[in-house]
Chains A and B, each alone.
Chain A
Amino acid sequence: MLEDLLFQLELGLPQVVLGLVNGAFYALLSLGLAVIFGMLNVINFAHGAQFMMGAFVAWMMLNWLGIGYWPALVLAPLVVGAFGVVLEKTMISRLYKLDHLYGLLLTFGIALIIEGLFRNQFGSSGMPYSPPEILSGPPVDLGFMFLPKYRLWVVVAALVMSLVTWLVIEKTRLGAYLRAATENAALVQAFGVNVPRMVTLTYAAGVALAAFAGVLAAPIYSVNPQMGSSLIIVVFAVVVIGGMGSILGSVVTGFGLGLVEGLTKVFYPEASSTVIFVIMAIVLLARPAGLFGRA
């Protein structure tokens, strides 16, 4: 029995490793959501749409302007982040005094607009985006499987980005201001810190993280207007499981659930699209605040 299971696992190990790639996207997106929620108390429903925008901006840069993958990896998040600044300044900032649910509804509407506009412009079918040359060579031999270089890069890039975000928030002066403003915005403002601007930039940073993930995703998934909307719902479940209290929590939960999803694909493929939601239900019953959340 046990040997059977082990054999199955050995055969399925590639699936499990590929689960890590999905986990990388869960981690990056839930990280962005957590950063935004911590500061704005808004659940950014447009996160999936902004992820999609990141992929599209990279595609447009390549096909319209001839800008390659590496510059796009920096430029696309900046462009989409700037768009985030506009959104926050013109709309989201008007809702801080209202029930948080209005922020959710507003960003949901924004997501519909963005998705609809892209569908009008580009249609529903996906467009290919090839990975940069240096990452598209022969797959890396991991001993038990061959992993395409690009997927390995996605996992590494997501880990590095998560680490950088964690360092900025926990170890820098700016991060200290951010955490202080999360606790008590009025007091921090009284000390002469421009809190509204910090809020705007936090939103932009969260959005830029989503766009960064989008550029990373472009060569793996086809670039299409719907690529963000189904992903974001899974990420919501990830956020509920992890709790939005801690940065490391989001990252660990994101990668962990990617792995679990990969494992499910090996042992019970039918459940692979629902397993994360089932785990969410179980976590809610056992520990409503989430694995890393504060009650």
Chain B
Amino acid sequence: MAAGHASVAALPALHETPGLLGLSALGFNRAQSIAFLALLAALIVGPFFLYPVFLMKLLCFALFACAFNLLIGYVGLLSFGHAMFFGMGGYVTAHAAKVWGFTPELAILSGGAIGAALGVVAGWIAIRRQGIYFAMITLALAQMIFFVCLQAPFTGGEDGIQRVPRGHLFGIIDLSRDMSFYWVVAAVFLAGFLLINRIVHSPFGQVLKAIRENEPRAISLGYRTDDYKLVAFTLSATLAGIAGGTKALVFGIATLTDVYWAMSGEVVLMTLVGGLGTVFGPAMGAAVIVTMQNYLAEFGAWVTVIQGVIFVACVLAFRAGVIGELGRVLKVRL
């Protein structure tokens, strides 16, 4: 008991140490700095050991899960409709790259732009209710977007948008080789990851956490909580759109799978497995789930069953997730 107490008391001190290589400027404590350096190393070394396309897929989902975690982990809003931003981001990026001939960075940014635009509208509607209703509303709105995508001519219906070219970065660097595109994807992920971390540790992020802990109290302190929630929702949607757009360029295809409700469920699962409200959890959860899908793909519908079992197990016995539990054992915040 005494040991536990001492280490908890030591946490703020750890946080204040200049830390490793000045990483505390990013808001990381010492443990998080070490984890971040490990993540960086894995990003750099990864493609030399693992199939780059697999890693790129993993990074897209990791960014998607981090974006989702910004809402559930720091504002306490469970969105069950994030597939609409992910999927629409994919469609718009694919359309921009293929039909409009955008360079990849602009195509991915247009994916983020559609995520932002959708996020403002969906958020504006959904934040009128809290808790379970919020989840149901976002799910219903996402289903509406799914039907729109099913019927709209530009999405190609059941066929999707196929053979999307990756193009040349800034019009110069050819990205058709997987190894070259990997570094772009890694940079996009890293930028998104650090941006979210920056948001969480900003004064704005502190207000978000206050809303999560006690919304009426935040209101009574004079914060317009609805505005904060809407901004957070839009940021999350934007990053989800970027993640979806990047994934569309990785595989050269945008399909209905990414706007379907099952995708919304998957991102919830990834974040839950990794640990809600942890910095590294969503990325870890994405790694676990994408790897699992990769190895279990041949078992067909069993993947759904196993995902369901993981959901149930996480909710009943393992609510802190992998990173949450690890942090508890090591007595640090990750």
Q: Which A residues contact B (CB, under 8 angstroms)?
A: 37, 43, 91, 94-95, 98, 100-102, 104-106, 108-117, 119-120, 229-230, 233-234, 236-237, 239-240, 270, 273-274, 277-278, 280-281, 284-285, 288
Contact = CB atoms under 8 A, between A and B. Distances in A.
Nearest to A275: B144
25 contacts: A43-B132, A101-B78, A101-B132, A102-B315, A104-B78, A105-B315, A106-B312, A108-B265, A109-B312, A112-B305, A112-B311, A113-B309, A116-B301, A116-B302, A116-B303, A116-B304, A229-B261, A233-B261, A234-B140, A236-B139, A273-B151, A277-B141, A280-B137, A280-B140, A288-B128
B148 interface: yes
A277 B308 contact: no
A95 B302 contact: no
B333 to A, nearest CB: 20
Contacts of B307: 109, 112, 116
A285 B128 contact: yes
A240 B140 contact: yes
A277 B143 contact: yes
A112 B90 CA distance: 25
A229 B126 CA distance: 21
Given A101-B132, A236-B139, A284-B128, A112 B308 contact: yes
A219 to B, nearest CB: 26
Contacts of A106: 311-312, 315-316
Contacts of A236: 136, 139-140
Nearest to B310: A109
Contacts of A116: 301-305, 307-308
Nearest to A98: B319
A95 to B, nearest CB: 7
Contacts of B12: none
Interface in B90-135: 125-126, 128-129, 131-133, 135
**Interface of B (DSSP majority class):** helix
A92 to B, nearest CB: 10
Contact of A120 (B132, B272, B301, B315): B301
A139 to B, nearest CB: 30
Contacts of A43: 132, 135-136
B141 A115 contact: no
B305 A91 contact: no
Q: Nearest 10 pairs between A and B by C-beta?
A: A109-B311, A112-B308, A116-B304, A113-B308, A116-B305, A277-B144, A237-B140, A288-B128, A119-B301, A236-B136
Contacts of B151: 270, 273
A43 B303 CA distance: 24
Contacts of B141: 277, 280-281
Nearest to A288: B128
Interface string B305-334: 101111110111001000000000000000
A108 B311 contact: yes
Nearest to A225: B301
B268 interface: yes
B147 interface: yes
Nearest to B317: A94
Contact of B268 (A100, A105, A115, A233): A105
B171 interface: no
B308 A109 contact: yes
Interface of B: 78, 80, 125-126, 128-129, 131-133, 135-137, 139-141, 143-144, 147-148, 150-151, 261, 265, 268, 272, 300-305, 307-312, 314-316, 319
Contacts of A115: 304, 308
Nearest to A46: B308
B311 A101 contact: no
A199 B304 CA distance: 29
A281 B300 contact: no
Contacts of B300: 120
Most chain A C-beta atoms within 10 Å of own C-beta, residue among B135, B137, B315: B315
Contact of A281 (B125, B301, B304, B315): B125
A16 B304 CA distance: 37
Most chain A C-beta atoms within 10 Å of own C-beta, residue among B150, B268, B311: B311
Given A112-B311, A281-B125, A274 B147 contact: yes
Nearest to B77: A101
A206 to B, nearest CB: 15
Given A112-B308, A116-B302, A120-B301, A94 B136 contact: no
A157 to B, nearest CB: 27
Contacts of B131: 100-101
Most chain A C-beta atoms within 10 Å of own C-beta, residue among B303, B305, B308, B316: B308
Nearest to A120: B301
Nearest to B300: A120
Contacts of A105: 78, 268, 272, 311, 314-315
Nearest to B143: A233
A101 B139 CA distance: 14
B44 to A, nearest CB: 35
A229 B315 CA distance: 21
Nearest to B148: A274
Contacts of A273: 147, 150-151
Contact of B125 (A104, A230, A284): A284
B308 A94 contact: no
A234 B139 CA distance: 9
A289 B132 CA distance: 13
B237 to A, nearest CB: 16
